[in-house]
Chains A and B, each alone.
Chain A
Amino acid sequence: MLKILKYSFYDLMRSRWSYVYFLFYLLLGMVLLFLNNDLSKAVITLMNIIIILVPLIATIFGVMYFYNSREFTELLLAQPLKRSSIFLGQYLGVAGSLTMSLVLGLGLPFALYGLFQSGAILNFSLLILIGGLLTFIFAGLAFNIAISNENRIKGFGYAVLLWLFMAVIYDGLFLLTLIVFEEYPLDTFSLIATVFNPIDLSRILILLKLDISALLGYTGAVFKDFLGTRLGFIISGAVLLLWTLLPVWSLSAKAKRKDF
């Protein structure tokens, strides 16, 4: 598996896609800092980018890579190799290289700007950590979609839809539910509803750090207990990890059964 991981990783490096993403994040970080002149404000803007762009890139890139390397995958399948290690190796290669582009691309400009001397370092590391987790989650989901759809157009369609659903539509439905049932106690519901969407969950995790004063203004006891404590932070972190493991598990299960 490690060999395949290494191969995928170098393959991506050679194909320059990693550089493109690295440069994209680098440019983004520089522009952000250049325009804002303020670390803590840049971190807030960065949050929006991380929870929207990172999943999009991971999804599209995951699907793209899977379809492009299909011939190579078939070649590998002919060898005496474990199926799960082939697919997991590829998946980890893609997710790993994307995460590396993210960390380096955003980390460099911020580090040069004096991140280590500022108080924003904790918030920033949390952002990067969440960005990495989201990359792994959405690359995994993308691989799942690609492996279940032979038709590329369909696969891409589903992948984009998945992102759109998680990033926008889910929140719309969520809001609608909250407004329609506003007469009922909704604390527990809204907490549970966020757990089912990794983007929402990441957003809440970051909000816990950034907008705590607003969140504490909310009167619901359940909500406040959850958000106001370390426990809430740990639980949301754990669920996010679960979200990373779930697609991987499903991928290896699918890979075992699939008939090429």
Chain B
Amino acid sequence: MKRYFIYLPLLLCSLAACREAVVPTGTTDGPPVIFPDYAGVTVPATIAPLNFRVESADYAAIHAVIEGSRSGRIEARGGRRAAVSIPPGEWKRLLADNTGSDLSVTVSLRQPGGWISYRPFAIHVSGYPADYGLVYRLIPPAYEVYGKMGIYQRDLSDFTQTALLENTLIPGNCVNCHSFRQGRPEQMSLHIRGPYNATVLTSDGGVDLYDTKTEQTIANCVYPYWHPSGGYIAYSVNETRQVFHEQRDKRIEVVDARSDVVVYDIGKNELLSCPQITSQDAFETFPAFSPDGRTLYFCSAAARVIPEEYDQVRYDLCSIAFDPESGTFGQEVDTLVRAAATGKSVSFPRPSYDGRYLMYTLSDYGNFSIWHKEADLWLLDLHAGLTRELTEVNSSDVESYHSWSSNSRWFVFSSRRTDGLYSRPFLASVDEAGNVSKPFMLPQKDPGMYDSSLYSFNIPEFVTGRVELDARIVGRKARSGERIQMKYSSRAVSGRGL
């Protein structure tokens, strides 16, 4: 037995010797082209290790030295064409020690002539905390048919991804439109579409399934947005269809033939609305409450003949007053961004929770911007009334869905910039002065996951804590047909004259 104790240090020494010392024999002028692109990004101090690989050169091994401007130093390595694997514990300490300052990353590659070093690049560690994690749907960028999909949560501080609800539990159904009350994990809304059609609402551990279609509304409720009080959820009801392009740069057009906005009063089990948001002459969609709960933002377009005039539908950004005490709406609709007048179209209005900004997507027409390569993010300063393109985060490909962190200092958005088809989540920060940082892609233990995964990250939403959803209860209730029927309020007045 004693012999083993003698051999053990020798074995450890020999293993350590395998870790070849990195002595650069040459340097290059520029920084390396890395994937994901983390050069010059700003990250929260709780982010998972930013493992990356070098794209611009072939290599037998990769080595990175990450040094904090205040203190700390990490060495990370990777194999042939692989990503560096940053030790999570050391990374966590390095970020904690350098919050509010920069990290410097020096990359070296082992190539036939020896180790080549690149010019270092910086990563800024933000002083703004980010939320616990993200919730997103993983779904292939499919057309009409869907296979396996699910809604997942991801802890931002490590690489843990757990399934909240997969459609393996309810075969043949689609799960979509997850939404939280200002990122709080206790209150969640999501839809099941298919044979087990239902809207799932969770509140403080309870799970209820609803039938949201009423005689007075044109379809099931979709695109939820929680009222800050938790007492209401705004939905739109859309008669949606898809058409398919034959030209190379376009694939799918998702169009609404009719759409209205409604507000669900959870306590009274009543759908509320008013003629201004249920007009026959307009398509109203994508509702969102202001942080004080007294304004309802939505997109509105003049009605067109669908699908013939699908490319003539252009949405403005509008708002209407909402009184949460009485559940009534104001008389006037304000138009905040007249996009239609400039030949553009607004979708996904999302006000920051501090009430300062409203972020939206701008595309050439329609509202389903994920299929529009020209779609970009824009930011409306609600205090100054000024709107601007978010050039800091936009790319030549799609930027579409976006969501704010609970402190309004971070936002996550989906972009198809990596390959033009598969949506990936990117995070960026906004400081008090409205300066927006270079976005970074959600880190993965192996960034090669983004190459091999045939799923898009759909509807990325921040959550402030871990979502506790018992999928088995949802599955059981879904299969049982147990539903609460939503009722259309007698107080609601529809513009459709129903």
Q: Do A and B bind each other?
A: no
- Listed in ascending order, the chain B residues whose CB lies under 8 Å from chain A are none
Taking Cβ atoms with an 8 Å cutoff, the residues of A that contact B are: none
